[in-house]
Chain A
Amino acid sequence: MAQQANIGELLSMLDSPMLSVRDDVTAVFKENLNSDRGPMLVNTLVDYYLETNSQPVLHILTTLQEPHDKVDTDAIVLTTGALVLVTVLPMIPQSGKQHLRDFFDIFGRLSSWCLKKPGHVTEIYLVHLHASVYALFHRLYGMYPCNFVSFLRSHYSMKENLETFEEVVKPMMEHVRIHPELVTGSKDHELDPRRWKRLETHDVVIECAKISLDPTEASYEDGYSVSHQISARFPHRSADVTASSYVDTQNSYGSATSTPHSTSRLMLLNTPGQLPQTLSSLSTRLLTEPPQATLWSPSVVCGMTTPPTSPGNVPPDLSHPYSKVFGTAGRKGTPLGTPATSPPPAPPCHSDDYAHISLPQAMATAPKKEERTDSARPCLHRQHHLPNDRGLEELPGSKGSVTLSDLPGFLGDLASEEDSIEKDKEEAAISKELSEITTADAEPLAPRGGFDSPFYRDSLPGCPRKTHSAVSSAQGTGANPEPLNSALDRLGPDTPKQAFTPIDLPCGGAEESPAGDRERQASLESSILTPSPFKIPPQRGVGFGGGQPPPYDHLFEVALPKTARHFVSKKTEGLLKKAKGNTEEDFMPSASPMEVLDRLIQQGADAHSKELNRLSLPSKSVDWTHFGGSAPSDETRSLRNQLLLLHNQLLYERFKRQQHALRNRRLLRKVTRAAALEEHNAAMKDQLKLQEKDIQIWKVSLQKEQARYSQLQEQRDTVVTQLHSQIRQLQHDREEFYNQSQELQTKLEDCRNMIAELRVELKKANSKVCHTELLLSQVSQKLSNSESVQQQMEFLNRQLLVLGEVNELYLEQLQNKHSDTTKEVEMMKTAYRKELEKNRSHVLQQNQRLDTAQKRILELESHLAKKDHLLLEQKKYLEDVKLQARGQLQAAESRYEAQKRITQVFELEILDLYGRLEKDGLLKKLEEEKTEAAEAAEERLDCCRDGCSDSVTGHNNEEASGPNGETKPPRPGGARGGSGSRGGGGGGSSSSSGGSELSTPEKPPNPRVGPCSSRWETAVGEPTTGIPMTVGSLPSSKSFLGMKARELFRNKSESQCDEDSLTSSSLSETLKTELGKDSGVEAKPPLNLDGPQPPPPKPDSVGQLRIMDYNEAQHEHS
């Protein structure tokens, strides 16, 4: 106790915030754990952890080492652990996967444990352990098939494990079908979190259950499809079972094929030694009970509510059930009593399930019974059994090697041989009846799904009968395998009772008090050994009548509406599961460890109650010692352990139940939703109807509207026609008006035409008037003329009159005179005549003259015109000529222009050259003479005076003036240079050379010459200063140009000299020199220049002079 407190303190210190303290304490714990090998400290730690969830403790626990984590050989702990694992696994499918290997190891170990039984484990525990291992197997296979299978493959491929596999694992595998994941999935895929995400815990459980073929574990959720599957699978399975267990029994236990059988067998083998008395006593009693259906009363199982059946009730005839069964089976062979005995709760809709379940049951039970009978009453029952077996075997045996799959058909054939007609009738009747029942039952069943655990309530007496019957019908599938299978054998209403009773169980199983444990222990143990007498009949049922369900099956399928069946079967399956869970799958004789365990429990309880009743208290100890020799304390412990195991089992089953409840709830939700949807549909239909009504109303109103519309249309039409007629009338009117206007228009047109005509007439009249006026004027002129003529005529008449009078007078005178006058008159007459003629000729002449004059005028006029024309032509011609001349002139002008340009270019060029020269010369001059600077200045002045344009000519002058310049010096110097000047004047071509020759000696006087001659001087001076001969030679080389230039040059120079008022003198002097040159001294005095002096001996020169003069004059003029 002190240590306990110490540990408590330490534990509290373990959670202290001080890190050092914690470490210390942890170290202490570890030390303790290392030193102390007892489990107490560890247990304390675990408890503490569970209470406080303390991390350090967890840490310590996880680091536990060898002595503590060693394998616990205690079967109770192991069983509990395995069950916990099985329970927890579906909850942590994802997080548990990293420990998958460990789980598999656990499985491997436990399975091998089951076989090897290390230590002193009692068989009782092993049954539990085996059941838990079986559950674990199912869970692992259901959840991780690939991994698990691969584990199995690797683990059991080892030789040392082979036996375990054969003994333990292989039989387990017979209760599972091939997992679809083995085909479609892979190892990795199984561990994929996505696979588990969609599944809840109960889904996982159901998934696992689906894989199982064990009727106690399996789930047939899939209903319709599953039923097909099962029906298709059916013959195979029956074959399976027969192959494994059935044949084994034939071999009289030569080899243990399936673990449950072997274990049970082992137990059976063991127990007889321990409790031979109880066995025998119990077995006798128990054997009698099953037929009375009290065996499966939950109250009996629990040993709580109802008192155990009195032993007095037990019929002494042990072989009664067997004989009875045998008797019935043998007598009837065919299910004669079925219509009568089989209660309504065997609905055909369960036929699939029923067939499925019942068959394995039947087949699984078969060997058990044999065992029991064998073990319990070897001598007694073997005789019974053997013939029975033999008889059974004979049937298939007679046929030799009839395949097991053919068995049902074969059996069916056998049956039909016996009384096929009767059977057919029966079948028809059954199917009919059943179909009626199902249709009736299907409806009320629907609302029942909402109950979580309907069976619990159903057990209450207040429950409606109908539902109860429905439940019972559902229950029937689980509980009625025998009723249907062995209905032939079971007489009376026993079977329904059996079906109903398990419903009352659930409360009992959980609340089981450990009070009567010890007593029941013995009974339980013995109950295992108790042979269940009714097991045989099913066997026979399989042999003779059991073969019939398959023929029924297809009939049921055809006869019943599939949906209803599906629904109901689903429902009932759920219910059946529940029932199974609650009743711990009791009653069903099965090869699976579960069933063995169930059986153990139920029979143990039964035996216990009986034993309690039978044994008196004082004689108890005696009995114990007497029977088994084992100490009571030992018994107590084992009993307690068994209780614990039972409790574990119970908890596990409860867990399963909860999962089913969860699932149920979900399914219920679906159902309610479906119902809601149906209601919704109905509501929608109502609405639809309403809307249809509305549509009708709308149609009616539409028709009305249409009628009104047509009416309006008619009205409109009439109005339109009216308006049309109006329009027509108006158009007519309009046309009339139009015609009228047309008429008026034409009239107007006529009027206009008339007016135009009138106007034309007016014009004509006017013109006529004008014409007439003109005529009038003419006429008036004529009139005046005629008047004047008249006047003249009058005048002439008067004259004539006067003349007449005169004539008369003369006549009178003549007459008066008469004689002398006649001659005179004659004379006068002739004179007059002559005068008249003369006048006439004169007039004629005048006329002629006029004509000629007129002709002349015409002639002249034409002449004038000709002249004018000529003049014009002349003008034109002149113009033409002018144009022509202009053209030529233009050409000439352009030519002149070009010439000008050319000269400009030349000048420019020369200036350029000159400038260059000048530059050179200037330098030299500066060196030579200072005086010449002044001259240069003068020259420059001259240049300026001459202007730029004349510069070229100036140069020419300079060059050409060589001879002229030389002519001057002779003036002061006398006639010495005369010859030179003459040369210059006469033959220019030759003078240059001579001039230059002459000029050199006369250089000195140059400075004294006037400004006009300065040019010459420079010109003279320049050649001396070294002007290249090219310049000087230019005029000479081009003689013609030179002459011309000289001419031009001289003219210019002379005009300049004139301006300088020295011209005349110089000119005269030149002439003088020339003259002097020619005539020597004589030429001195005269100064007259123009005088054509006869003396010149060389007239050429003078002529030349003259020409020059003339030219000069001309130039001066121009």
Chain B
Amino acid sequence: MTEDSQRNFRSVYYEKVGFRGVEEKKSLEILLKDDCLDIEKLCTFSQRFPLPSMYRALVWKVLLGILPPHHESHAQVMMYRKEQYSDVLHALEVIRFISDATPQVEVYLYMHRLESGKLPRSPSFALEPEDEVFLAIAKAMEEMVEDSIDCYWLTRCFVNQLNNKYRDFLPQLPKAFEQYLNLEDSRLLSHLKTSSAVSKLPYDLWFKRCFAGCLPESSLQRVWDKVISGSCKILVFVAVEILLTFKIKVMALNGAEKITKFLENIPQDSSDAIVSKAIDLWHKHCGTPVHSA
């Protein structure tokens, strides 16, 4: 790696002491310095290391294709995006689909629907499951990103990525979840099986909404780093880790409904640890991603 030469000699100690992200930030800055951003490298980086929060939005936008890799066109493209956003918003306002009272996330939803040509005839339409997913993600994203335009675009592209790129993977995740849970703790899995909770676990929440609403945003964005950078398998490990963390509680519960209910409302305080452990677990089972270059 070219960066290695420029790395701080203290980096070894940083990692030893447990400081993460000191060196990563630097290398990310090096990556971002390029005129034309290397998407692959960014992906690899994002998968390997946690993104510094100051660069997260930028990296996400680049990875999701909201911004082109070229720095030069960023401003222009962003202007386009902004205009598009305001146009659509305006259109919705014009047709009186939304008002000032409409919640932001719903605005995003209508915008999204409008852009995908599925805008219903009246605002009071029944929400479809995918709309719920969109709303959940938008809500989480709203917490993570301040700017509403960024938020809208990130949400939209994130959902699109889920719907297009991961369309084939997502349905397989429950199986993978069972498999890895069996590897990690077969007793827990058997307990789930005996209480017939395996099929009733909140897979929608976990894999379709990518834990939006399940984990607090501070932890969630670390998961989404991985999802956005191209690995939806991390979701499985987060789920496994949740079960492992709350194993005692889950073992104590017997009914499938109780387990599902508990998993849908897990305590938030240990989510950071869960995510860290999940990432470790993910690295352990899937190996640390290496630069393909």
Binding site for B on A (CB under 8 A): 880, 883-884, 886-888, 890-892, 894-895, 897-899, 901-902, 904-906, 909
A895: chain B residues within 8 A (beta carbon):
80-81, 83-84, 87
The complex places the Cα of A888 from the Cα of B88 at a distance, in Å, of 19
Starting from the known contacts A880-B70, A888-B76, A901-B117, 8 additional A-B residue pairs (CB-CB under 8 Å) come to A884-B36, A886-B68, A887-B67, A887-B70, A888-B77, A891-B76, A891-B77, A906-B95
Interchain CB contact under 8 A, A884 and B73: yes
**B70 partner, pick from A884, A901, A902, A906, beta carbons under 8 A:** A884
A901: chain B residues within 8 A (beta carbon):
88, 91, 114-117, 119
Interchain CB contact under 8 A, B68 and A887: yes
Interchain CB contact under 8 A, A883 and B115: no
CB of B94 within 8 Å of the partner chain: yes
For chain B, residues 57 to 73, give those with C-beta under 8 angstroms from any C-beta of chain A: 65, 67-70, 72-73
Given contacts A888-B68, A904-B117, A905-B95, contact A883 B36 (CB under 8 A): yes
Main secondary structure of the interface of B (DSSP, over half): helix
Given contacts A888-B68, A909-B95, contact A899 B87 (CB under 8 A): yes
Interchain CB contact under 8 A, B70 and A898: no
The complex places the Cα of A886 from the Cα of B114 at a distance, in Å, of 24
Nearest residue (CB) in B for A898 is B84
Q: Please list the 8 inter-chain residue pairs (A to B) with the smallest Cβ-Cβ separation, ordered nearest first.
A: A887-B68, A902-B91, A891-B80, A884-B70, A891-B77, A895-B84, A909-B95, A898-B84
A886: chain B residues within 8 A (beta carbon):
68
Nearest residue (CB) in B for A900 is B117
Interchain CB contact under 8 A, B68 and A884: yes
Interchain CB contact under 8 A, A887 and B73: yes
A–B Cβ pairs within 8 angstroms, 6 of them: A883-B70, A888-B80, A902-B88, A902-B90, A904-B117, A906-B91
The complex places the Cα of A410 from the Cα of B55 at a distance, in Å, of 134
Interchain CB contact under 8 A, A891 and B91: no
- Measured CB to CB, the closest approach of chain A to B287, in angstroms, equals 31
- Measured CB to CB, the closest approach of chain A to B12, in angstroms, equals 37
For chain B, residues 10 to 61, give those with C-beta under 8 angstroms from any C-beta of chain A: 36
Nearest residue (CB) in B for A884 is B70
The complex places the Cα of A303 from the Cα of B65 at a distance, in Å, of 154
**B115 partner, pick from A884, A890, A897, A906, beta carbons under 8 A:** A897
- Measured CB to CB, the closest approach of chain B to A927, in angstroms, equals 31
Nearest residue (CB) in A for B119 is A905
The complex places the Cα of A344 from the Cα of B35 at a distance, in Å, of 150
For chain B, residues 80 to 104, give those with C-beta under 8 angstroms from any C-beta of chain A: 80-81, 83-84, 87-88, 90-92, 94-95
- Measured CB to CB, the closest approach of chain A to B19, in angstroms, equals 36
- Measured CB to CB, the closest approach of chain A to B91, in angstroms, equals 4
B73: chain A residues within 8 A (beta carbon):
884, 887-888
**A898 partner, pick from B68, B69, B115, beta carbons under 8 A:** B115
Interchain CB contact under 8 A, A883 and B88: no
Nearest residue (CB) in A for B95 is A909
B94: chain A residues within 8 A (beta carbon):
906, 909
The complex places the Cα of A133 from the Cα of B168 at a distance, in Å, of 120
Given contacts A891-B80, A894-B84, contact A880 B91 (CB under 8 A): no
The complex places the Cα of A905 from the Cα of B91 at a distance, in Å, of 8
Interchain CB contact under 8 A, A898 and B117: no
B69: chain A residues within 8 A (beta carbon):
883, 887
B36: chain A residues within 8 A (beta carbon):
880, 883-884
The complex places the Cα of A897 from the Cα of B160 at a distance, in Å, of 16
- Measured CB to CB, the closest approach of chain A to B155, in angstroms, equals 15
A899: chain B residues within 8 A (beta carbon):
84, 87
How would residues 109 to 122 of chain B score, 1 for a CB under 8 Å from any chain A CB and 0 otherwise? Answer: 00000111101000
A906: chain B residues within 8 A (beta carbon):
91, 94-95
Nearest residue (CB) in B for A876 is B36
Nearest residue (CB) in B for A902 is B91
B84: chain A residues within 8 A (beta carbon):
891, 894-895, 898-899
The complex places the Cα of A891 from the Cα of B67 at a distance, in Å, of 8
Nearest residue (CB) in A for B153 is A894
B83: chain A residues within 8 A (beta carbon):
895
Interchain CB contact under 8 A, B68 and A902: no
Interchain CB contact under 8 A, A884 and B72: yes
Interchain CB contact under 8 A, B72 and A898: no
Given contacts A880-B36, A880-B70, A891-B81, contact A898 B88 (CB under 8 A): yes
B90: chain A residues within 8 A (beta carbon):
902
B81: chain A residues within 8 A (beta carbon):
891, 895
A897: chain B residues within 8 A (beta carbon):
115
Nearest residue (CB) in B for A879 is B36
A894: chain B residues within 8 A (beta carbon):
80, 84
A891: chain B residues within 8 A (beta carbon):
68, 76-77, 80-81, 84
How would residues 213 to 247 of chain B score, 1 for a CB under 8 Å from any chain A CB and 0 otherwise? Answer: 00000000000000000000000000000000000
- Measured CB to CB, the closest approach of chain A to B156, in angstroms, equals 10
Interchain CB contact under 8 A, B68 and A883: yes
- Measured CB to CB, the closest approach of chain B to A578, in angstroms, equals 89
Interchain CB contact under 8 A, B72 and A902: no
B119: chain A residues within 8 A (beta carbon):
901, 905
Given contacts A898-B84, A902-B88, contact A890 B68 (CB under 8 A): yes
Given contacts A880-B36, A888-B68, A909-B95, contact A902 B114 (CB under 8 A): yes
The complex places the Cα of A1045 from the Cα of B258 at a distance, in Å, of 62
Interchain CB contact under 8 A, B76 and A898: no
- Measured CB to CB, the closest approach of chain A to B4, in angstroms, equals 26
Nearest residue (CB) in A for B67 is A887
- Measured CB to CB, the closest approach of chain A to B60, in angstroms, equals 16
Nearest residue (CB) in A for B66 is A891
The complex places the Cα of A890 from the Cα of B76 at a distance, in Å, of 12
Given contacts A898-B115, A906-B94, contact A887 B77 (CB under 8 A): yes
Given contacts A887-B68, A888-B68, contact A902 B87 (CB under 8 A): yes
**A905 partner, pick from B70, B72, B114, beta carbons under 8 A:** B114
B70: chain A residues within 8 A (beta carbon):
880, 883-884, 887
The complex places the Cα of A906 from the Cα of B81 at a distance, in Å, of 20
Nearest residue (CB) in A for B96 is A909
The complex places the Cα of A616 from the Cα of B87 at a distance, in Å, of 177
Q: Which of B87, B91, B92 has the most CB of A within 10 A?
A: B91
The complex places the Cα of A901 from the Cα of B115 at a distance, in Å, of 6
The complex places the Cα of A891 from the Cα of B88 at a distance, in Å, of 14
- Measured CB to CB, the closest approach of chain A to B213, in angstroms, equals 28
- Measured CB to CB, the closest approach of chain A to B148, in angstroms, equals 16
- Measured CB to CB, the closest approach of chain A to B229, in angstroms, equals 19
The complex places the Cα of A894 from the Cα of B153 at a distance, in Å, of 12
Q: Which of B67, B77, B81 has the most CB of A within 10 A?
A: B77
For chain B, residues 139 to 185, give those with C-beta under 8 angstroms from any C-beta of chain A: none
Nearest residue (CB) in B for A885 is B73
- Measured CB to CB, the closest approach of chain B to A899, in angstroms, equals 6
Nearest residue (CB) in A for B74 is A887
- Measured CB to CB, the closest approach of chain B to A1049, in angstroms, equals 20
B115: chain A residues within 8 A (beta carbon):
897-898, 901
A902: chain B residues within 8 A (beta carbon):
87-88, 90-91, 114
- Measured CB to CB, the closest approach of chain A to B86, in angstroms, equals 10
Nearest residue (CB) in A for B111 is A898
B95: chain A residues within 8 A (beta carbon):
905-906, 909
The complex places the Cα of A242 from the Cα of B221 at a distance, in Å, of 124
B91: chain A residues within 8 A (beta carbon):
901-902, 905-906
The complex places the Cα of A445 from the Cα of B180 at a distance, in Å, of 100
B65: chain A residues within 8 A (beta carbon):
890
The complex places the Cα of A897 from the Cα of B81 at a distance, in Å, of 12
- Measured CB to CB, the closest approach of chain A to B198, in angstroms, equals 41
B80: chain A residues within 8 A (beta carbon):
888, 891-892, 894-895
The complex places the Cα of A890 from the Cα of B84 at a distance, in Å, of 12
A884: chain B residues within 8 A (beta carbon):
36, 68, 70, 72-73
The complex places the Cα of A902 from the Cα of B93 at a distance, in Å, of 11
Nearest residue (CB) in A for B94 is A906
B76: chain A residues within 8 A (beta carbon):
888, 891
The complex places the Cα of A922 from the Cα of B151 at a distance, in Å, of 47
The complex places the Cα of A222 from the Cα of B223 at a distance, in Å, of 103
A887: chain B residues within 8 A (beta carbon):
67-70, 73, 77
